[in-house]
Amino acid sequence: MANSESLDNVVLELRRGVIVLAVLSQLNGEQYGYSLLKLLSDQGLEVDQGTLYPLLRRLETQGLLESVWKLEEARPRRYYVISTDGKKLLPKLKKEWADIVSVMKKMLA
């Protein structure tokens, strides 16, 4: 039991940073929370709602995302899109990710 718990914890930690990168990479176009969740899920990255929605707000507070309310199909939706700061940060994050992957590939080979 303890083993599967610590496995879960490690996996959670591993995913946490990746999700930020995934979110920033997918927000070149406007998405609302639920549509982003599905967009990520369609590409194979399952993210919990309880993780994604607060994360979007946090990234907005940090200035990496911008958001705007739009009325659509009689329902208001909050659309998020990457900000100028976010656009500056993204290539750096991508490079970090590529470095990590190449190092870990060698290490785990």
Partner 1 sequence: MKLIDRYVNEVGKRLLVLQGREDIEKELRSTLEDMLEERAEKEGRPADEAMEIELLKEYGSPDAVATTYNPHPYLIGPRVFPLFLKILKIVLLSTAFGMTVVMIIKLVTQTPMMGSDFTEVLGDGLGNILSTVIAASGYVVLIFAIIERTVPDLGLKEEDFKTEDWDPAALAKEPDPDSVNRGELVAEIVFTFIGLAIINEIFYIPVFTDEFRKFVPWINAAFVTEILLDIYLLRKAVWDTGTRIVKIAMEAGTIVIAGIMLYTPNVITFSSKIFENVPEDSSVDIEVVTRFFDVGVSIAFIVVIVVASFELVKAAIGLIRSFTRK
Interaction site with partner 1 (CB under 8 A) = 32-34, 49-51, 53-54, 57, 61, 69, 75-78
DSSP 39-97: HHHHTT----HHHHHHHHHHHHHTTSEEEEEEEETTEEEEEEEE-HHHHHHHHHHHHHH
Q: Give the residue with the Cβ less far from partner 1, 44 or 50.
A: 50
User: In whole angstroms, how close is the CB of 100 to partner 1 at the nearest point?
Assistant: 18
User: In whole angstroms, how close is the CB of 73 to partner 1 at the nearest point?
Assistant: 9
User: In whole angstroms, how close is the CB of 64 to partner 1 at the nearest point?
Assistant: 14
